[in-house]
Structure 1
Amino acid sequence: MMSSLPADFRSFLSSVGRVFAVFFRQGRKARRTRFFFLFSFLPVAVSLVIKFNQIFSGKPGREGGYLFTNLIMLFYLQMIILILALFYGTSVCSEEVEGKTLPYLITRPVPKAAVVLGKYAAYTAVMTGMVTLGLVFSFLVLNLDRLLDLSLYGQLGRYVGALILGLMAYGAFFTFFGSSLKRSIFFGLLFSFGWENVIQYFPGSTQRLAIAHYLKSFLPATSPGRFSFLTFRLEPTRPGFALLMLFGITAACLALACLFFSKKEYSFED
C-alpha cells in the first residue's frame, strides 16, 4: 500500500517514523518522564488509601464507581492530562530551539513538519502509557468487589478513551502554543487552569468552547440522584460530533504548529 503513495509523501512518512522512534526511546528514559510517571500515579495511591480504609474500618463507604468518577477521574481529566500535555506539547518545538539541536535534525535532511509530527506522536504515546496504566490500576482498586461485572469494563474503556482523546487534543493545542509563543508554558497554564477549568461549567452553548466539554461527553452517565462534580451542568454533545470536534482541533493545531515551525527562522548564535 505504501508503494502506491507518491515518493515525496513516502519519504515524509519515513522521516516522521524515524523521528518518532528516536524520541519515543528518549522520552521513555528521560528524567522528567520518571517524575511525571510518579505524578500520574498519585490517584493510585489515593485509591489504595481509600480502599484500605474501607477494609480495615469495616465500613462500606461510597461505592467504587462513585468515588472513581468524583475523585480519581476528576483529578485525571482536570489536572493530570492538562499538565502532561502542557509540558510535553510545548517541548515538541521549544526544546529543539532552546537546546540548539534543531540544526542536527533538519540537516539529515528531515522536514521541520516531520520533526513536529514525529515528536508529537512519540510524546503522546509516552503520555498515554503513563495515564492509562495509572487509570486502570485506580479503577480496579476502587472496584475490587465488582471485578466479575463485565459491564464495568465497558465503563473503563470509555474513561480510558476520553483521556487518550484528551491527551491528543491538548497535546496538539500546546504543540501549537510551543511553536508560536515565547512564553508558551505561562499562557498554557492560564488556558488550562483559567479558561478550561471555568468555561466548561457555564450553562448553554458557552461550555462547548472548552475542549473538556467534548471529553466529558464520552463519560458514562451519572446514576439518577447521584451528584457528580465532573458532569455538573454538562449538556453533552453527541459522541459522534464530539469525536469529530476533537479530531478537528487536533488536526488544525498540528497543521498550524507545522506551519509556524517550518516558516519561522531561528537563530542559534551563542
Structure 2
Amino acid sequence: MSSATSKATAHGDGAPPARRVPPAPSLGASIAVHARLQVLRLRRSAKLKLAVGATLPMVAAVALSANLGDDAVGALRGGYKFALFLLLGYLLPFLFASGAISEEVESRTFTYLASRPASRLGMVVGKWLTATLFSAALLGGAAVLMHISSLATSPTVFVDELGLLGRTLGAVLLLSAGYSALTMCFGALVPPAAGIVGGLYLAIFEFIMGEMGPGYLPLLTMHHHALLLSGTDSGLEPVVELPIAFALMAGFTLVWLALTAVAVVPREFREGSG
C-alpha cells in the first residue's frame, strides 16, 4: 500500500496540475494587437470624420478648377501640391498620430496597455502603422479622385498623366509615414502639449523651411523630398536624384520612429501628466 502511494506521489497523481505560463506575444503579434486597438479608437473618434470632411472639399475644388479652366493638367498639378502637400499632408498625419501616445497617457490607459504582455515597441509600431495607413488611404484616395474628376473628359491626357498619379501616390505614402512618426514622437516626449509642439514643428521647420528656406536648407525637410518624388512642382529647387530623396525620406522616418521608441519603451509615464 505504501509502495503504491509512493509511486503515485512520484508520478504526481493527485497533485494539482502545474500552470503553464503562456509565452509572451511575438513582436509581430504585439504590433497587430495594438494596430487593431488603434483602428477601433480612430473609427470611434471624431478625427476620422474631420479628416474626411477636410479631404472632400479639396477634391471638389481641384475638380472644379480643372474643368472650368483652360489648363486641366496645370490645375491638377497645382491641386496636388496645394491640397496634398501643403494642407492635407500636414493635417491628416497630425490628426491620426499626434495623440496616439499622449492620449493614452492623458486618459490614464497607458499603464494598462503597457502592463499587457504585448510589448511597448509593438505599441509604437502598431500605432504608427495605423496612423500611416489612415493618412495614406485618404491622401491616396484624394489623389485618385482628383485625377479622375479632372481628366475624365480627356482620355488621352488621362492616360498620359497616370505616371504623375503613381509618383504622387508613392510620395504621399512616404510623407504619411514620416509625418506620422514625427508627430507621434512629440506626443510621446511631451504628452500634455503634443498638439502644440508637433504643430509648431510642422509649421516652422517643415513648411516654412521646406518652402522658403535658403540654399540647401529645404533638403533637411521631408516636405521638399516628397514634392521632388511626386513631380508636381517642376521648378522646385534644390534638386537631388530621386533615389537619394527616397532614401532621405525613409531615413528621416526611421529616425523619428526610433526616437519615439526610445521615449516610450523604457519610460515610466505619470498617469494624467506625462
What TM-score, normalized by structure 2, do the two folds share? 0.82
Pair 1:37 & 2:46 matched:
no
Match of 2:187 in 1: 178
What is the alpha-carbon distance in structure 2 between the residues aligned to residue 267 and residue 83 of structure 1? 29
Match of 1:242 in 2: 245
Per-residue deviation, residues 202-224 of structure 1 (Å, max 9, x unmatched): 34312212211111111237xxx
Unaligned 5+ segments in structure 1 are 1-7, 55-60, 222-229
Match of 1:263 in 2: 266
Aligned residues: CA RMSD: 2.3
Matches within 5 A, 1:15-54: 15-50=30-65, 54=68
Pair 1:106 & 2:114 matched:
yes
Pair 1:86 & 2:89 matched:
no
| Residue identity matched to 1:215 | A
Match of 1:214 in 2: 225
Contact 1:178 1:184 in 2 (8 A): yes
Match of 2:8 in 1: none
Matches within 5 A, 1:35-74: 35-50=50-65, 54=68, 61-74=69-82
Per-residue deviation, residues 137-190 of structure 1 (Å, max 9, x unmatched): 112111123334433211101111111111111111111111112422112222
Partner SS for 2:26: helix
Partner SS for 2:254: helix
Partner SS for 1:265: coil
For the pair shown, the structure with the greater C-alpha radius of gyration is: 2
Match of 1:160 in 2: 169
**Which of 184, 187, 197 lines up with 2:197 in the alignment?**
187
Unaligned 5+ segments in structure 2 are 1-22
| Residue identity matched to 1:207 | P
| Residue identity matched to 1:209 | L
Runs of 4+ aligned residues of structure 1 deviating over 4 Å after TM superposition are 230-233
What is the alpha-carbon distance in structure 1 between the residues aligned to residue 66 and residue 255 of structure 2? 43
- Assess, with a 3 A threshold, how the Cα gap between structure 1 residues 29 and 269 changes in structure 2: closer, same or farther: closer
What is the alpha-carbon distance in structure 1 between the residues aligned to residue 141 and residue 89 of structure 2? 13
The count of aligned residue pairs is 248
What TM-score, normalized by structure 1, do the two folds share? 0.83
Match of 1:5 in 2: none
| Sequence identity (%) | 19
User: How far apart are residue 233 of structure 1 and its match?
Assistant: 4.6
Worse overlay, 239-248 or 105-114: 105-114
What is the alpha-carbon distance in structure 2 between the residues aligned to residue 163 and residue 119 of structure 1? 18
What is the alpha-carbon distance in structure 2 between the residues aligned to residue 106 and residue 191 of structure 1? 28
What is the alpha-carbon distance in structure 2 between the residues aligned to residue 231 and residue 197 of structure 1? 18
User: How far apart are residue 235 of structure 1 and its match?
Assistant: 1.8
**Which of 1, 5, 13 lines up with 2:28 in the alignment?**
13
Contact 1:28 1:126 in 2 (8 A): no
Contact 1:179 1:261 in 2 (8 A): yes
User: How far apart are residue 107 of structure 1 and its match?
Assistant: 2.5
Contact 1:128 1:164 in 2 (8 A): yes
